[in-house]
Amino acid sequence: MMTLRKFQTAAALLTVSLMGSAWAATTAPEPSTEEFVPTVGQSGKDVIWVPTPQSLVDKMLDMAGLTAEDKLVDLGSGDGRTVITAAKRGAMARGIEYNPDMVALSRSAARREGVSDRAVFEQADIFESDFSEATVVTLFLLPNLNLRLKPILLDMAPGTRVVSNSFTMGDWDPDETGEAEGCSSYCIAYKWVVPAKVEGSWKLPDGELQLTQKYQKVEGSLLRGSEKVAITDGRLEGANIRFKVGDDEYTAKVTGKQMQGKINGQGEWSASQVG
Ligand SMILES: C[S@@+](CC[C@H](N)C(=O)[O-])C[C@H]1O[C@@H](n2cnc3c(N)ncnc32)[C@H](O)[C@@H]1O
């Protein structure tokens, strides 16, 4: 779509060439070096552009615990500020943005900031893109778009951190809520850690664990001999599960169909998923 600024530039160039074609023939018009100037509230494919305040960008990356080992993707990356900030912190960062003018703007900002080797931008629809490699996902979209993304996010590797400006994920409660200081609008962020999938039956050397799961919350029971005890305080943080059986606290790391860990920080225990 031609913007008003581009239209005005094109119209001015056309006027010059029509005013004196011989002169125009020897003096080729300079290509426009003017940069696209975005407008807050400009339309976007599924949501308008409103930038995340820089203080909240910083807060969101803090909440994600972003490190130089991470691969961040910003879904609907706007002017590229989250991607560029993540790259400045040493992470590999990728923006997916539908508006080509915003992509061009982001690329030149990344060049200016000296991070174009780590901050990449692609013009694409987030709903047509594969970002399964990311370890951190940031987004500032809309509640209904978050709900469309939720099953895709839940299928990412356990431990992937998802941080959203202002909008939640329906019945998937956030693991953390944060607020940026010195910020006047759109100042709240929510963080989720993609939980491992543990629902089902798990065989222990001396018993069986039955688990049900709603996102990061886990319920169920442990059968030992003929005694069946309900588990309490069951919770997942990525691949790490913890729950109580009576006074005993079980912690473990889930790797596919295996979990292995400690009871009260000492005795080892393990289980294999059987159903
Ligand atoms: C509210 S802005 C957030 C921009 C940026 N993430 C930030 O936090 O500053 C949403 C962005 O998503 C883009 N967008 C809307 N629908 C999209 C889609 N289906 N695929 C990719 N980008 C999209 C818009 O153009 C806009 O730049």
Mean pLDDT is lowest, of 15-19, 44-48, 257-261, for 15-19
219 lines ligand 1 (CB under 6 A): no
Residue 17 reports pLDDT greater than 90: no
CATH architecture of 54-193: 3-Layer(aba) Sandwich (3.40)
Average pLDDT in the 46-67 region? Answer: 98
State the pLDDT confidence band at 33, using cuts at 50, 70 and 90. Answer: low
**The pLDDT of residue 23:** 21
Mean pLDDT is lowest, of 5-9, 56-60, 172-176, for 5-9
Average pLDDT in the 131-142 region? Answer: 98
Q: Exposed/middle/buried for 59, CB within 10 Å: 0-12, 13-18, 19+?
A: buried
State the pLDDT confidence band at 199, using cuts at 50, 70 and 90. Answer: very high
Look at residue 183 and give its three-state secondary structure: coil
165 lines ligand 1 (CB under 6 A): yes
| Residue among 137, 103, 141, 99 at smallest CA distance from 120 | 103
Atom of ligand 1 nearest to the CA of 74: 6
Average pLDDT in the 244-270 region? Answer: 97
Q: Output the CA–CA distances (angstroms, integers) from residue 217 to 27, 58, 250, 264, in the order listed.
A: 70, 28, 15, 20
**The pLDDT of residue 275:** 93
Atom of ligand 1 nearest to the CA of 57: 8
38 lines ligand 1 (CB under 6 A): no
pLDDT digits 0-9 by tens, 70-121? 999 999 999 999 999 999 999 999 999 999 999 999 999 999 999 999 999 9
Average model confidence (pLDDT) for the chain?
90
Residues 6+ apart with CB under 8 A from 240: 251, 252, 253, 254
Q: Are strands 227-237 and 136-139 parallel, antiparallel or unpaired?
A: unpaired
Average pLDDT in the 51-63 region? Answer: 98
Mean pLDDT is lowest, of 11-15, 39-43, 109-113, 264-268, for 11-15
**The pLDDT of residue 4:** 35
250 lines ligand 1 (CB under 6 A): no
State the pLDDT confidence band at 12, using cuts at 50, 70 and 90. Answer: very low
Give yes or no for a contact between 52 and 165, defined as CB atoms under 8 angstroms apart: yes
Ligand 1 centre to CA of 217 (Å) is 31
pLDDT digits 0-9 by tens, 169-185? 999 999 999 999 999 99
Give yes or no for a contact between 52 and 60, defined as CB atoms under 8 angstroms apart: yes
Residue spans of the domains in the chain: they are: 54-193, 200-273
Q: Where are the alpha helices (DSSP H) in the chain?
A: 4-19, 21-26, 54-64, 81-88, 100-112, 143-154
**The pLDDT of residue 30:** 45
Give the class (CATH, top level) of 200-273. Answer: mainly beta
Mean pLDDT is lowest, of 14-18, 28-32, 83-87, 135-139, for 14-18
**The pLDDT of residue 34:** 75
Residue 212 reports pLDDT greater than 80: yes
Residue 68 reports pLDDT greater than 80: yes
159 lines ligand 1 (CB under 6 A): no
User: Between 220 and 8, where is the model more confident?
Assistant: 220
Residue 128 reports pLDDT greater than 90: yes
